[in-house]
Chain A
Amino acid sequence: MISEFGIILLYFILGFVFVGIALVAAYFIRPSHPNAIKNSTYECGEIPIGEPWVRFNVRFYVIALIFLLFDVEVVFLLPWAIVFKGLGWFAFIEMIIFVVILLVGFAYVWGKGDLDWERPKPYIAKLSDLVIGKKKQ
């Protein structure tokens, strides 16, 4: 008798086997004629320029994170708006508190200048960094 988890395990194994067979079969069947164009990265028909592993400016992440936060706010606001009439004042005050908390966060982000897009000044390493670095063995 196989339990539910046994069935899941079977699925796991089957999945691995299936993919494995497909890859192995392709390896044997396919013709192998590599050239430069075939090995290049697919960029919607454009010719790739430079390395694909470029560093993105950390600002993008910050903006993305902030966007995510306020996006989630909307996600919460939507169902609230739908049932708002039925819940009355209580829900209204609750949501005001929620929004105020988010606004505090917004003010903080703004005040800290995380919304400004300026090039950060590079940090120049000091001698003390080296000293501490050296002590660590």
Chain B
Amino acid sequence: MMDISDLIKSISLFKPETTLIVTFMLAMILDMAFKKSKNIAGYIAIAGLVIAGIFLFQQTGVNYKAFANLLVIDSFGQFMKFIVLMSSLIIIVFSFFSNELHNAHTKLGEYYTLIIGMTFGMFLLVGSANLIMIYVAIETMSISSYVLAGYTREVKRASEASLKYVIFGAVSSGIMIYGISILFGLTGSLNLFEINQFLSVNNVATLPLLLSGLMILSGFGYKISAVPFHFWTPDVYEGAPVTITAYLSVASKAAGFAVLLRFFKTGLLDSVPGTSEAWQLLGNIDWHYVIAVLAVLTMTLGNLVAVWQTNMKRLLAYSSIAHAGYLLMAVSVMNDNGVSAVLIYFVFYMLMNLGAFFVVQLIANKLDSENIDEYNGLGYRSPVLAVCMTVFLISLAGLPPTSGFIGKLYVFSSVINSGYIWLAIIGVLNSVVSLYYYAKIIRNMYLRDVESAKTKLVFSPVTIAIVLMLAIPSLLFGVYFTPIVEWANYSMNIFVGN
């Protein structure tokens, strides 16, 4: 039963989310009130996110089950919320420079508002410890993202993307809620803690548990675009505005991984807090193996298909599928090292992936195309941009001395430490394949059409500064990464109750 003191404490810990709701409403109203200003909602959104970030920071060290176990406030959630928050902020800044959005006939007020709405949904998802809460949170973020994907509605492919996204999302969440109902039927509870309790005491039939698990995974898998739930990804990524593509590839994925980890750790695994040994599995199902197989499928498909892509957004879409595969690899080891590796990876992934997408956006602003051939000779047309893009791509490929290398290093070391050598080998082979298509872009930038008298591309200093602000940390964290590792190690314990 929920008593009033729990409620009051919960509300006080709900401050970041509350801030987001207030921001959401303010942005909506003020955007209507100031019809002339196109970006006012964006400024309010930035302010709101900053304040939410401050509230979030205040929650350092808090471990609490809020709202009668609906939500969990813990340092793991705080880390993931920071990732979500940072990417939302960066995306809003990106949006200020998007021709694609500004040429659209609609106002941008709702666009920024919906980003806040989506952030709110992801905050809930990261913290939820109840299956219904998970469902509601996924829907909150999904509905916002459907609209955002089709925001430039005059563009045909955006509308198409949005529609596909809606239908696919509906099917996935349908499957997920069916899985939830089966799990509820099996254990008699929607609360992850109680499910865990039940499973550790009683024996349940394997087939329905596996079926429900896979079905719930389809809901998460769709958010993180894991094979075989990834089909929406390339179409939506290609059709949506670049900013939203970038947003989906980082923030949604972060929220998806957060809930995936929490679901397994809190719900299905008997874990002793604070040990780095593998978590004990409940219910006779080898979830390591299930996730490992998903990881292999995901990264292999992502990398192999990415090789063939000629559209940058599509290429990065498949690349982001591949990265989901690497991350799933770290999830599959199911111990604290794996969690820490996921967290470390996400910080670096956020920097490099957002950076790469921003470069794509800037090029598309100038050339109105995302074709890979447009990058020919970019090294001479805009040297700074090309250098930064090279940094991002090398980082994505996971080569030293970039932060991407460090991320992969921790992922692989967690996999190898747990004894899954075969998985690590497949991961390394995949990295080799990925090198091919990343290097192809670099080759285009520096070795193709070098002599052709193409005009120089001039970008405003502010945009160059933003690219540098993402590229320099990408390099810097490749050399000095201890703070991130320490932060991740501090945050890796998922709160599972006393």
Residues on A facing B (Cβ under 8 Å)? 3-5, 90, 101, 104, 107-108, 111-112, 123, 126, 129, 132-133, 135-136
Contact = CB atoms under 8 A, between A and B. Distances in A.
B348 to A, nearest CB: 33
B32 A111 contact: yes
Contacts of A129: 154-156
A132 B29 contact: no
13 contacts: A5-B185, A5-B205, A90-B4, A101-B21, A104-B28, A107-B29, A107-B32, A123-B154, A129-B155, A129-B156, A132-B155, A132-B157, A136-B157
B156 A132 contact: yes
Given A112-B32, A129-B156, A101 B25 contact: yes
Contacts of B154: 123, 126, 129
Nearest first, the 7 closest Cβ-Cβ pairs linking A and B are A111-B32, A104-B25, A5-B208, A108-B28, A133-B156, A3-B205, A136-B157
Which secondary structure dominates chain B's binding surface? helix
Contacts of A108: 28-29, 32
Given A101-B25, A135-B369, 16 more contacts: A3-B205, A4-B185, A5-B205, A5-B207, A5-B208, A90-B4, A107-B29, A108-B29, A108-B32, A112-B32, A126-B154, A132-B156, A132-B157, A133-B156, A133-B157, A136-B157
Contacts of A126: 154
A37 B268 CA distance: 60
B162 to A, nearest CB: 15
Interface of B: 4, 21, 25, 28-29, 32, 154-157, 185, 205, 207-208, 369
A104 B25 CA distance: 7
Contacts of A123: 154
Nearest to A108: B28
Contact of A104 (B4, B29, B208): B29
Contacts of B156: 129, 132-133
A111 B369 CA distance: 36
A24 to B, nearest CB: 29
A107 B185 CA distance: 42
Nearest to B26: A104
B66 to A, nearest CB: 16
A132 B153 CA distance: 13
Contacts of B25: 101, 104
A132 B29 CA distance: 34
Contacts of A104: 25, 28-29
A111 B156 CA distance: 28
A5 B208 CA distance: 8
A127 to B, nearest CB: 12
Contacts of B205: 3, 5
A3 B185 CA distance: 12
B35 to A, nearest CB: 10
Nearest to A104: B25
A111 B154 CA distance: 23
A76 to B, nearest CB: 15
B309 to A, nearest CB: 12
Contacts of A132: 155-157
A111 B30 CA distance: 11
Nearest to A130: B156
